[in-house]
Structure 1
Amino acid sequence: MIKNEKSTNVIQSLQVGLNIIDIVATKNRPLKFTEIQELTGITKSNLYKYLNTLTMLDVLYRDKKDGTYSLGGKFIEYCAAALGDRNVIGKITPYLREISASTSQTALLAVWTHGGPVIVDIYSANYGLNIGAQVGTRLPLLSATGKVFAAFKDERDPQVKEWKQSELRKLTDERRKQLEEEIEGIRQRFFSYALEPLVKHVSSFSVPVLDFQRDLVAAVTVVGFTERIPKTADEQAGKYIMDCVAEISKSFGFLAD
């Protein structure tokens, strides 16, 4: 429910609009009009005006097929600018398109935020596939993307350390030990695989994008039906993805040993 506190020091309509954006962003899935109304308590007529304005400004996106709302391109552009990653997205987007078209799977790009890795771009060759995430979704540690960030993001950064510890607390002692061993292997192989981390029958393969200092810039991840996603870099699709991401890393100055 949106708070209705009045103050002479704030623009209430702007506050309401930002609260709507916050609700759409934090639900990690497209929302229907009725869901947004229930969560905000705004009258139908006023909510239509807010949603129409936010959609017109491309801060929210309305799917014409099912009428649901999700984060729009302009919002992601603002996020990228705040994170200093506008150039990252611009450089990697053409590769995402190519990977998605060549593998016939969904290709996504994730960058680091204070709360963990977040999806900032998606290209899908299979629009009927539910990958359990959308642009703006924070990805968990056990996802292929999450494991790449755990492996390559510097834990001396307090935010990275806090995120990893928070995620590890959700696991059993045995699973934590297994994961730490897996992460060490990811550092050596430069890719990770996750078996159905978010949605049944949907798995993922993720590769780090590194810069000239060997710092993690982003992660490129391919998501699709489990039987179509490579488990190793020895498979044809795995090798292709690895080669594409190696080219991306070269553009950021990374030199392989």
Structure 2
Amino acid sequence: MEVTKKGTTIQSLQIGMGIVDLIAKQGRPLKFTDIQDLTQITKSNLYKYLNTFTQLGILYRSKDTGEYVLGSKLIEYGMAAADHENVVDRVTPFLQEINEKSSSTVLYSSWTHNGPMIVKDINIHRGYNIGAQIGTFLPIHSSTGKIFMAFMDEQMIHDWKTKEFMQLSPEKVRQLEEERYVIQEKEISFAREPLVSSVSSVSFPVFNYKKRLLGAVTIVGFSQFIPNHEEDDLSQYLVQISKEISGSFGFNSDEK
């Protein structure tokens, strides 16, 4: 049996989830007639969808007003999907793909009160010590640090940023502040690594559905193999796969 690239789908399920998505995006309780006006689904079919989702807990129908809102089951699913411990597990297959593609060490870093810290590293081509391992804190002028400077909430990074800037020259601080706006626009950062000479890195952010920064993916290797501008083929690949990774956490890059 021939299978399409995206796989076969169940149309009724797509329609049903479209109803749930519509209710979620309205941001307010909706009456049956409101939903019908928005979906143009026949009354009999719409009733079946709404009744099914209500029984499953996907939607909740007020006994007083008859209005529909998202149900407790979606909250339960959302909490499970947003589980912090699940983030590393979910990004790992992507990190492995990037490692194969780039033949360079790939790191995933998360935020801590002491700054961004490496929590996962993948490198099938062992033998060269890049000076970074799990538990290493990365400075603000590394490509990873630049991602956190550009996308983390300013209040959360204030103390770290102040401390890091105190160790840099005024000229370097000015350069970083200017570079931040470019990183926010392009969603990719580059750096000659401060930890080891002759080593460079490139990083990109991982967002959740609210465009909250979950972490940063970094590719580290000898400078001649690591891009230092966005037009590079590897950079273009990283920009594309970054959308796939953030998309797995619900982020829609088209709604930036």
Question: What's the TM-score bracket when you normalise by the shorter of the two chains?
Answer: 0.5 to 0.7
Task: For residue 182 of structure 1, give the secondary structure of its aligned residue in structure 2.
Answer: helix
Cα displacement (A) at 1:245 = 1.5
How much has 1:112 moved relative to structure 2? 0.4
Q: Contact between 1:148 and 1:207, CA under 8 Å: does it hold in 2?
A: yes
Among 188, 193, 197, the residue aligned to 1:196: 193
- Aligned pairs for 1:235-254 within 5 A: 235-254=232-251
Asked whether 1:210 is paired with 2:207, we answer yes
Is the counterpart of residue 182 in structure 1 residue 174 in structure 2?
no
Matched residue, 1:97: 96
Q: Which amino acid aligns with 1:206?
A: S
Partner of 2:217: 220
Mapped to 1, the partners of 2:132 and 2:95 lie a distance apart of 16
What is the Cα deviation at residue 156 of structure 1? Answer: 2.2
Aligned mates of 2:172, 2:192 — CA distance in 1: 14
- Alpha-carbon contact 1:196-1:226 (below 8 Å) kept: no
**1:147 maps onto 2:146 in alignment:** yes
The residue correspondences of 1:1-257 to structure 2 (distance < 5 A) are: 85-157=84-156, 160-256=157-253, 257=256
Q: Which residue of 2 aligns with 1:41?
A: none
**CA contact under 8 A between 1:109 and 1:220: conserved in structure 2?**
yes
Structure 1, unmatched stretches of 5+, are 1-83
Q: CA deviation at 1:96?
A: 0.5
Equivalent-residue separation in structure 1 for 2:207 and 2:127 (angstroms):
32
Give CA-to-partner distance per residue, 1:25-81, whole Å, 9 cap, x none. xxxxxxxxxxxxxxxxxxxxxxxxxxxxxxxxxxxxxxxxxxxxxxxxxxxxxxxxx
Rounded Cα–Cα distance in structure 1 between residues aligned with 2:161 and 2:139 = 10
The DSSP-based 3-state class of the residue aligned with 1:175 is helix
Separation of aligned partners in 2, 1:185 and 1:228 = 23
- Structure 1 residues 124-167: Cα deviation after superposition (integer angstroms, max 9, x where no partner): 1331222111001111111100010000000122xx11001100
Distance 2:193 2:86 in 1: 31
Return the alpha-carbon distance in structure 1 between the equivalents of residues 182 and 248 of structure 2.
25
Instruction: Give the drift of 1:222.
Output: 0.3
2:122 & 2:84 partners in 1: Cα distance?
18
Aligned residues: 173
Give the counterpart letter for 1:235 in structure 2. D
CA RMSD, Structure 1 to Structure 2 (Å): 1.4
User: Partners in 2 of 1:193 and 1:171 — Cα distance?
Assistant: 18
For the 8 Å contact 1:210–1:218, the answer to whether it is kept is yes
> Where in structure 2 are there 5+ consecutive unaligned residues?
1-82
Cα distance in structure 2, aligned partners of 1:163 and 1:252: 27
Task: Provide the C-alpha distance between the structure 2 equivalents of 1:178 and 1:134, rounded to a whole number of angstroms.
Answer: 27
Which residue of structure 1 aligns with residue 71 of structure 2? none
TM-score by length of structure 2 reads: 0.65
What TM-score do the two structures reach when normalised by structure 1? 0.65
Q: 1:102, CA displacement in angstroms?
A: 1.1
Q: Matched residues, percent identical?
A: 44
Counterpart CA distance in 2 for 1:100 and 1:92 is: 12
